[in-house]
Amino acid sequence: MKEIKVAFYKGDESRIHKVIRWWTGSIYSHAELVMPDGKTWISISPFLTSKVSRRDGSTVKNLKDWDFLSFKLSWREPVEKYQMNQLNSFIENTEGRRYDWTGMILSQVTPYLIKHKSRWYCSEWIAHALVNSRILMWNDAKIYRTPNLSPGKLYEILKDYKPTYR
């Protein structure tokens, strides 16, 4: 059975990572989606390219700097195929989109979800990728109650996630 992983970054003591951790009160400052092949990592990072992009997981320097949560795809082949098709479609439709600095900052300082319609930040993009592919069910995870969806908050939502449809 295939699975998708979400990788949560807790390494690197650079200034930007420290600020994100301090502001969000979490040990995580970034998140990436790991595809079933285990080699393809996808996310958007304001620290690298500032675009939704794929990278080869073998370039990850230290896996100890990451925590992983795994999500199995459906055991039913047609549903698994649908999930992967939806996920790949979402990735293709958002690949190359820029980082949503405005939405990320304003969502942190206001009680509202502020979102540029064609820009993303890492944890928001991953939540939408998982929901869009039906790996994560929106009403089970209650992500809509989280306007400031930082990597740490995404981790808290996903760590105990139990879908009701399996």
pLDDT tens-digit readout, 38-88: 999 998 876 656 888 888 888 888 899 999 999 999 888 999 999 999 999
Residue 57 in any domain: the answer is yes
Over pLDDT 70: what percentage of the chain? Answer: 93
| pLDDT computed for residue 1 by the predictor | 79
Over pLDDT 90: what percentage of the chain? Answer: 34
The answer to whether residues 104 and 150 touch, using CB atoms and an 8 Å cutoff, is no
Structural domain count, the chain: 1
Q: How far is CA 101 from CA 115, 121, 151, in A?
A: 10, 7, 15
Residue 35 in any domain: the answer is yes
Residue 104 has pLDDT above 90, yes or no: no
Average pLDDT over residues 79-104: 89
Residue 52 in any domain: the answer is yes
pTM over 0.85: yes
Residue 55 in any domain: the answer is yes
Residue 95 in any domain: the answer is yes
Residue 147 belongs to domain spanning: 3-159
Residue 89 has pLDDT above 90, yes or no: yes
Q: How many CB atoms lie within 10 A of CB 114?
A: 16
How far apart CA 69 and CA 2 sit, in angstroms, is 14
The answer to whether residues 116 and 100 touch, using CB atoms and an 8 Å cutoff, is yes
| pLDDT computed for residue 103 by the predictor | 78
Residue 164 in any domain: the answer is no
SS3 98: strand
As to burial, measured by CB atoms within 10 angstroms (0-12 exposed, 13-18 middle, 19+ buried), residue 76 is: exposed
Alpha helices in the chain (DSSP H): 15-24, 77-94, 101-109, 122-132, 138-141, 151-159
Alpha helices in 51-144 (DSSP H): 77-94, 101-109, 122-132, 138-141
- The CATH number of the domain holding residue 129 is 3.90.1720.10
Confidence of residue 112 (pLDDT cuts 50, 70, 90): confident
